């Protein structure tokens, strides 16, 4: 009886640990992300590839998991992405270029109304050099805006639901930066 009890506990501990995180391209993403207002759940994660390089891992965190990109984009609920750099090929300059390209796709070229917010957001990538292992949390908080941090340090808060929708549209929009990444963060691997 004691043996069965110990085996049962070992099984449940293993089961619990195996679902406490997800590993993607060597990056461990926790199943939950603590934010200033609560906790979000990992919806899915994937790798952003550029040419032959795996440049970053992206995890999407939501209050309630969803496979519906439009519902996520239009939701006024808190959401976040964790973006972790996995390639030494990434630096501040090419990250800026990639983000500009992402907004261009997300907004179908119609970014004039958000240009000042986009420029302010892009500044977070030039505060200091970007290196392999650095991570960014982009956390949309309703009524506050997108809180952007690097390695746990808050760098900027950009107001507006329109900006948040455009930002998350980079990965979830009808023209995402990478279709396979969109599929992965929606949990459809």
Reported as a single tens digit per residue, the pLDDT across 22-50 is: 888 889 999 999 998 999 999 999 999 98
- What is the reported pTM? 0.86
Reported as a single tens digit per residue, the pLDDT across 127-140 is: 789 999 999 999 99
Percent of the chain with pLDDT strictly greater than 70: 89
18: pLDDT strictly greater than 90: no
**Of all residues in the chain, what percent are helix, strand and coil, respectively (each to 5)?**
40, 30, 30
Q: What are phi and psi of 144, to 5 degrees?
A: -115, -55
Which residue in 94, 142, 143 sits closest to 122, CA to CA?
Answer: 94
pLDDT at 51: 83
Sign of the alpha-carbon torsion through 160, 161, 166, 171: positive
Q: Which helix (H) or strand (E) holds 141?
A: strand 135-141
Is the separation of the CB atoms in 75 and 104 below 8 Å? Answer: no
Domains, the chain = 2-185 (3.50.70.10)
């Amino acid at each position: 009886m004691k043996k069965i009890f110990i085996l049962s506990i070992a099984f449940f501990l293993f089961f619990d640990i195996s679902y406490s995180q997800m590993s993607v391209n060597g990056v461990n993403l926790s199943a939950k992300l603590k934010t200033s207002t609560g906790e979000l759940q990992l919806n899915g994660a994937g790798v952003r590839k550029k040419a032959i390089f795996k440049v970053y891992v992206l995890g999407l965190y939501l209050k309630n998991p969803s496979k519906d990109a439009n519902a996520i984009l239009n939701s006024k609920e808190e959401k976040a992405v964790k973006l972790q750099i996995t390639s030494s090929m990434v630096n501040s300059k090419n990250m800026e270029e990639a983000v500009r390209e992402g907004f261009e796709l997300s907004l179908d070229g119609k970014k004039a109304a958000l240009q000042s917010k986009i420029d302010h957001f892009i500044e977070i990538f030039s505060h200091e050099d970007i290196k392999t292992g650095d991570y960014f949390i982009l956390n949309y908080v309703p009524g506050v805006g997108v809180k952007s941090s690097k390695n746990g340090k808050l760098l900027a808060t950009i107001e507006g639901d329109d900006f948040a929708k455009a930002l998350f549209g980079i990965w979830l929009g009808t023209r995402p930066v990478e279709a396979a990444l969109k599929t992965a963060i929606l949990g459809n691997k």
